[in-house]
Chain A
C-alpha cells in the first residue's frame, strides 16, 4: 500500500492537502534533495516574475535589478521559517525533526511556485485590463500553499488545528527575531571588519613614516 517513488510523493502531497502529509509521515518518505530543488525553484520563480513577465506587467526597471532581494525572499526566509518552526515546536512538544520540517514545508510551496510560472506565461498574452485572470491565479496559488503549509505543520508535529495555528503565529514571531538578530550580527561583523581594516591602514602609515 502507498509504495510511491519520490516524485510521486511530491505529487501526492500537493494534490491531497488534507491527507498527503499524514501519508508522507506514515511511510517516512520525502527527500531533502527534492526540498532543495523546490526552494531553488522558488528563487527562480521570484526572479522570473520580475524579469520574464510580458513588458506590460513588468514593474521593475532593468537598472534596478539586484539578485540579493530574491535570495533573501526565497532561501533566507525559508531557512528562517524552518529554524523558527523547529525552535518553537521543539518547546511545544512537536514531533517533527528539522529535516522533516524542511521537507514538508518545501513541498507545500509548490502551488505558489507553479502559480508564479503560470502568471509569467499568462503575462505574455494578457493586457493590463485583463489583470483579473492574473490575480486569480496568484490567489489560488497562495491559498493552496497556505492550506498545504498549515497541514504540513499539523502533520509533522502531530498537532490539533488550534495548536497548529498557535504554532504558526509563534513561528512568524520567531522568524522576525531570527532576522533581526541576523541583521544585528551582520552589522556587527561589518563594524569589526572596518575596525581591523582601519587598524591595518594605521599600522601601514606608521611603518611608512
Chain B
C-alpha cells in the first residue's frame, strides 16, 4: 500500500471531528420527551425541570380492536380502574380495561325502565359512581341524562326540569355530569351562568350549584354603579354584569369537594374553584391565581392563553388541569402549588392537536398515571410517573399532612435530582426547624429565598445562641462596665490633680 500522507491526515481530521461532534452534542434533560420540561420558580420565571411524567403510549380505537374514535369528548375511570371513553361521533361509550389493552364492553344501546330500547345522540359527558357503580351519561342531543347500571339498564332518566326556577325558554343540553356521595346529580349546561343544574337521586330538580363569581374589577364595579342609577328603560340597553360559566368539573370522592374549571378566557376570576357541599368556593381567597401558564403569548393578532377544559382530582388529592391551547397538563398538589407540567402540541406521543384535547384522568394512589384524551386524534395518551415524580409525590403528601420530619428524606432525594425544585428547600427547612436544627433550617430557607421562614428559624437560633453564651455575655458586660467606671475615676482624679495646685496657690 502506498503511503499517502494527505489522505491519512484527512482521515484523522474526520475522526477527530466525529469525536468532537459526539462529545459536543447536547444531552437533553429528558431524552424521551418531545418538549422541554419546565416548571415555574417563585418569581414566575419558567425554569428547566426534571420530568415528573413521561408519555408512555397513545392508544386509538383501532389499537383496541374496535373502530376509530370519532371526536371523543370525555374519559372516566371507575372503582375497578376500568376506563370509559365517550365516543361522541359514534354515539357510544367504550369501556376499556385498566391497562388500555382491550375493549371490555361497548354501550351503544340502553334498555329504558319501561323495557324499550334507546340509543345515545352525541353524548358529551360521563361519570361512574365509585359507590354504586352506576354510569351517569350526559346525552347531549337527546336533551337528557341517563343513569344506567353496568349492564346498560337505565335506572333514571333526567330531563328538562319543569320547575319555575329553571327558565323554560332555555334548552336542556347536558355537557358534563357528576354525582356526589349522597347520590345528587350535577349537570353542566352550556346556556347558563348560574352554575350546574343539581338533581336529587330520583332525578327531580333541586336548583343550581356553584356558580362562578363576577370578577371584582373596576370596570365591573363602575358598571354596577351606573346600572343602579339608570332608569328601567335605560337598564334594558345596558350591559349586565354576568360571571363566566364553568364548563367542566370533577369531584374529590374522598372529601366530597367539587372542583370546577372554566375555559372561557373572558375573565381570570374563578378559573379553578373548590366548592364545598354548601356551594361556597374554598379557593375564593386566591381568585386571581394564575392557573396553567403564567403568561399569554400574542402572535399575529391572536392571544394564546391557557384554556383549562378539564380538571381531575387524583386519589391523592392532586389537581390536574388540562390546557387545550398548549396541550399541557398542569399538575398541582392539593394546596394548589404546581408540581409538574407535561404534554405539548404536535404529532408525537405525548403531544396533541392544538385545541382538541378534551379530558384528563388519573390513576393510582399517588397519581402513578395521567391520561389525556385527544378529541382530534381520537387517542388516549398515558403519562407514567417517573422515579422523580414518585419521590416528589411522596414528599409532598408527607409535607402536606404535616409530617415534616418524615418528608426530609424524600425532599433531600428530590434535590439530588433537581436543584431547581423550590418546594424541596422549603420542605427541608421546615423539617430541620421541627427537629431543632435551626442553623440548617436557616440555610435552606435562604436557598429558597423564603425570608419569613428564615426569620422564624433565626429567632429560635438566636435565643439558643443567647442561652448558650449567657455567661460569656454577662462576663463581657461586667468587664466593660468596670472599665468604664475605672476610666471615669481616672478622669476625675486627673482633673482634681490639675485643679489642686491652683487651689493651693489661692489659699497661700
Identity of the chain B residue whose Cβ is nearest the Cβ of A57 in the assembled complex: B451
Within 8 A of A (CB), among B412-453: 442, 445-446, 449, 451-452
Name which of B108-116, B350-358, B454-462 contacts chain A: B454-462
Whether A61 lies near B462 (C-beta < 8 A) is: no
The contact of A63 among B43, B445, B458, by CB within 8 Å, is B43
The residues of A that contact B43 with a CB separation of less than 8 Å are: 61, 63-64
Whether A56 lies near B458 (C-beta < 8 A) is: yes
Distance between Cα atoms of A58 and B442 in the complex (Å): 14
The residues of B that contact A127 with a CB separation of less than 8 Å are: 455, 458-459, 462
A61-B43, A63-B43 known; A55-B462 Cβ under 8 A: no
The contact of B451 among A56, A125, A129, by CB within 8 Å, is A56
The residues of B that contact A128 with a CB separation of less than 8 Å are: 452, 455
> Would you call A146 an interface residue if the criterion is a C-beta within 8 Å of the partner chain's C-beta atoms?
no
> Would you call A54 an interface residue if the criterion is a C-beta within 8 Å of the partner chain's C-beta atoms?
yes
Most buried by B among A54, A56, A64: A56
Total count of chain B residues near the partner, CB < 8 A: 12
Majority SS of interface residues in chain B?
A: helix
Whether A56 lies near B454 (C-beta < 8 A) is: yes
Q: How far is the CB of B14 from chain A (nearest CB, A)?
A: 34
Q: How far is the CB of B425 from chain A (nearest CB, A)?
A: 13
The residues of A that contact B446 with a CB separation of less than 8 Å are: 55
Distance between Cα atoms of A54 and B445 in the complex (Å): 13
Q: How far is the CB of B40 from chain A (nearest CB, A)?
A: 14
Identity of the chain A residue whose Cβ is nearest the Cβ of B463 in the assembled complex: A127
The residues of B that contact A129 with a CB separation of less than 8 Å are: 459
The residues of B that contact A58 with a CB separation of less than 8 Å are: 451
The residues of A that contact B452 with a CB separation of less than 8 Å are: 56, 128
Distance between Cα atoms of A56 and B452 in the complex (Å): 6
Q: How far is the CB of B340 from chain A (nearest CB, A)?
A: 23
Q: How far is the CB of B63 from chain A (nearest CB, A)?
A: 47
How many chain A residues sit at the interface, stated as a range, is 10 to 19
Distance between Cα atoms of A186 and B452 in the complex (Å): 40
Whether B458 lies near A61 (C-beta < 8 A) is: no
A55-B446, A61-B449 known; A125-B462 Cβ under 8 A: yes
Distance between Cα atoms of A125 and B446 in the complex (Å): 16
Distance between Cα atoms of A63 and B462 in the complex (Å): 28
Identity of the chain A residue whose Cβ is nearest the Cβ of B446 in the assembled complex: A55
Distance between Cα atoms of A64 and B442 in the complex (Å): 22
The residues of B that contact A55 with a CB separation of less than 8 Å are: 442, 445-446, 451, 454, 458
The residues of A that contact B454 with a CB separation of less than 8 Å are: 55-56
> How would residues 100 to 143 of chain A score, 1 for a CB under 8 Å from any chain B CB and 0 otherwise?
00000000000000000000000001011100000000000000
Identity of the chain B residue whose Cβ is nearest the Cβ of A53 in the assembled complex: B451
Distance between Cα atoms of A106 and B118 in the complex (Å): 91
Q: How far is the CB of A36 from chain B (nearest CB, A)?
A: 35
Distance between Cα atoms of A47 and B161 in the complex (Å): 68
The residues of A that contact B445 with a CB separation of less than 8 Å are: 55
Q: How far is the CB of B505 from chain A (nearest CB, A)?
A: 28
Distance between Cα atoms of A56 and B449 in the complex (Å): 10
Distance between Cα atoms of A112 and B279 in the complex (Å): 55
Distance between Cα atoms of A34 and B507 in the complex (Å): 51
The residues of B that contact A63 with a CB separation of less than 8 Å are: 43
> How would residues 40 to 80 of chain A score, 1 for a CB under 8 Å from any chain B CB and 0 otherwise?
00000000000000111110011110000000000000000
Q: How far is the CB of A66 from chain B (nearest CB, A)?
A: 14
Distance between Cα atoms of A57 and B445 in the complex (Å): 13
Distance between Cα atoms of A131 and B436 in the complex (Å): 25
Q: How far is the CB of B47 from chain A (nearest CB, A)?
A: 11
Q: How far is the CB of A131 from chain B (nearest CB, A)?
A: 10
Distance between Cα atoms of A57 and B43 in the complex (Å): 18
Can you report 14 residue pairs joining A to B where beta carbons are below 8 Å apart? A54-B458, A55-B446, A55-B458, A56-B454, A56-B455, A58-B451, A62-B449, A63-B43, A64-B43, A125-B462, A127-B455, A127-B458, A128-B452, A128-B455
Interface on B for A, CB 8 Å cutoff?
A: 43, 442, 445-446, 449, 451-452, 454-455, 458-459, 462
Taking A56-B452, A64-B43 as given, write out 7 further A-B residue pairs in contact, using a Cβ cutoff of 8 Å, ordered by the A residue number. A55-B442, A55-B458, A61-B449, A62-B449, A63-B43, A127-B459, A127-B462
